[in-house]
């Protein structure tokens, strides 16, 4: 089968390292640091000059008053001690400022591992802590961005490979462009479309730009509708779906489309966790100023070491065929409603996801 010369590199560059030479950011901060240092030198030089002048005047005054040699010795000693204290204070103040300037220059040039020692005067230490926290967050964000690009490339590569292979097969005459093969192409395109839509929803939610069309919603009816929509799929997989929702629950003021998306993601994840069949229970109950939706399956469960990271992007179990974005999107949508979502799981016994939504 011939190849048509098309390829895409979705992976970020490997072996990336922070710059090792002075870049424009470092040079700018270095110049700023020199100005600060010069200002400190001038300020302390003025202080020393004042001390010397005062000392000289005191010496003259004590000569006149006491007309004795001890004043000639004591006053210069006091002046020199004052100068020493000024110089020591200058060095103690400038050292952490200089470290901060150098680290800020490195950070400006892309070295997100730059940190400063949290030492020096009490007025400087909070600035150092704040800088280190900022650098840590930037480093984390950069790592997440690179991981996101790598994971996105991995998720898009599979459907793209299938589409490319099918098209090449049709061009080479191996397959005919019949409805069966065209439907396969359409399904793979739909997979990519869902992934891109998930990423769009995720980016809007994390940027705080996701608009919610809130309206009074019967949460029990919504959960029951989602369950009914997956009964046939569940039955084919040997999974029994049950819904436990009390009658007369008050309505909640939410975006029904987004909440339906949350419940759907949880149901789909639960079905994927039960490849050999099992049971799925969806429950709705009323809490204090909130309603609680729980989705419980009897699937393979999640390893305790993986549980803290299940809501991160592209995190999925070895048996999952999804994109790994469902729980992340669900978390962000629930948070956008002012609610919370949590997960508890036991390997081999199943998983329970609990969503709490405020009624108001």
Query: For every one of its 360 residues, what pLDDT tens digit does the chain have, with 9 covering 90 and above?
Result: 444 444 444 344 444 455 555 555 455 445 545 556 555 666 666 666 666 666 666 666 666 555 555 555 555 666 666 666 666 666 666 666 777 777 777 777 778 788 877 776 666 677 777 778 888 888 877 776 777 667 667 667 777 888 888 888 888 888 788 888 888 888 788 777 777 877 777 777 776 777 888 999 999 999 999 999 999 989 989 999 999 988 888 899 999 989 998 999 899 889 988 988 999 999 999 988 899 999 999 998 888 877 777 877 666 655 555 566 778 888 989 998 999 999 999 888 899 999 999 986
213 backbone dihedrals φ, ψ, rounded to 5°? -95, 85
User: For the whole prediction, is pTM greater than 0.85?
Assistant: no
Cα gap 148→288, rounded to integer Å? 38
Res 5: pLDDT: 42
CA pair distance 332, 348, nearest whole angstrom: 28
What is the per-residue pLDDT for 156? 74
CATH architecture of 215-358: 2-Layer Sandwich (3.30)
Question: How far is residue 16 from each of residues 111, 143, 152, 352, measured CA to CA in Å?
Answer: 11, 11, 19, 40
In this structure, what is the dihedral angle of CA atoms 307, 313, 314, 317, given to the nearest 10 degrees? Answer: 10
Burial class (CB in 10 A: 0-12, 13-18, 19+), 311: middle
CA–CA dist 14, 8 (Å, integer):
16
How many other CB atoms are found less than 10 A from the CB of residue 60? 12
pLDDT at position 279 is 94
Closest by CA to 270, choosing from 305, 306, 295, 302, is 295
pLDDT for 4: 44
DSSP letters, 92-161, are HHHHHHHHHHHHHHHHHTT-TT------SSTTTHHHHHHHHHHHHHHHHHHHHHHHHHHHHHHHHHHHHH
In a 13 Å sphere around the CA of 51, the CA atoms on its Cβ side amount to 19
> CA–CA distance from 39 to each of 42, 90, 327 (Å)?
5, 11, 54
Q: Which pLDDT score, from 0 to 100, does residue 169 have?
A: 85
> Exposed, middle or buried by CB within 10 Å (0-12, 13-18, 19+), for 224?
middle
Cβ atoms of 267 and 227 within 8 Å: the answer is yes
Q: What is d(CA 210, CA 203) in angstroms, rounded to the nearest whole number?
A: 9
pLDDT at 126: 76
337, 338, 344, 349: CA torsion to nearest 10: -20
Give the domain ranges of the chain: 215-358
Res 13: pLDDT: 45
Taking the C-alpha atoms of residue 163 and residue 184, their distance in angstroms, rounded to an integer, is: 8
Cα 321 from Cα 324, distance rounded (Å): 8
């Amino acid at each position: 089968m011939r190849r048509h010369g098309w390829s895409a590199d979705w992976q970020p560059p490997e072996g990336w390292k922070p710059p090792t030479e002075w870049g424009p950011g470092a040079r700018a901060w270095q110049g700023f640091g020199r100005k600060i240092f010069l200002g400190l030198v001038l300020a302390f030089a003025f202080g020393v000059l004042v001390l010397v002048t005062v000392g000289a005047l005191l010496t003259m005054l004590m000569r006149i008053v006491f007309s004795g040699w001890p004043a000639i010795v004591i006053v210069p000693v006091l002046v020199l001690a004052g100068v020493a204290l000024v110089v020591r204070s200058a060095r103690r103040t400038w050292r952490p400022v200089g470290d901060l300037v150098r680290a800020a220059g490195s950070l400006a040039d892309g070295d997100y591992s730059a940190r400063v020692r949290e030492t020096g005067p009490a007025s400087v230490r909070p600035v150092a802590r704040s800088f280190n926290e900022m650098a840590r967050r930037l480093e984390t964000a950069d790592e997440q961005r690179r991981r996101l690009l790598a994971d996105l490339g991995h998720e898009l590569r599979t459907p793209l490979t299938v589409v490319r292979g099918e098209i090449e097969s049709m061009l080479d005459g191996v397959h005919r462009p019949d409805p069966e093969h065209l439907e396969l192409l359409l399904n793979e395109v739909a997979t990519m479309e869902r992934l891109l839509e998930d990423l769009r929803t995720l980016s809007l939610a994390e940027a705080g730009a996701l608009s919610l069309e809130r309206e009074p919603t019967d949460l029990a009816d919504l959960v029951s509708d989602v369950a009914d929509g997956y009964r046939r799929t569940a039955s084919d997989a040997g999974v029994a779906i049950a819904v436990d929702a009390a009658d007369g629950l008050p309505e909640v003021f939410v975006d029904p489309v987004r909440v339906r998306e949350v419940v759907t993601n949880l149901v789909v994840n639960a079905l994927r966790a039960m490849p050999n069949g099992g049971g799925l229970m969806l429950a709705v109950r009323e809490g204090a100023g909130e309603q609680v939706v729980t989705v419980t399956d009897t699937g393979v469960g999640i390893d305790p070491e993986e549980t803290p990271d299940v809501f991160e992007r592209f995190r999925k179990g070895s048996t999952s065929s999804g994109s790994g974005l469902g729980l992340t999107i669900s978390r962000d949508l629930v948070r956008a409603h002012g609610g919370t979502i949590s997960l508890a799981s036991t390997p081999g016994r199943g998983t329970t996801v609990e969503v709490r939504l405020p009624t108001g």
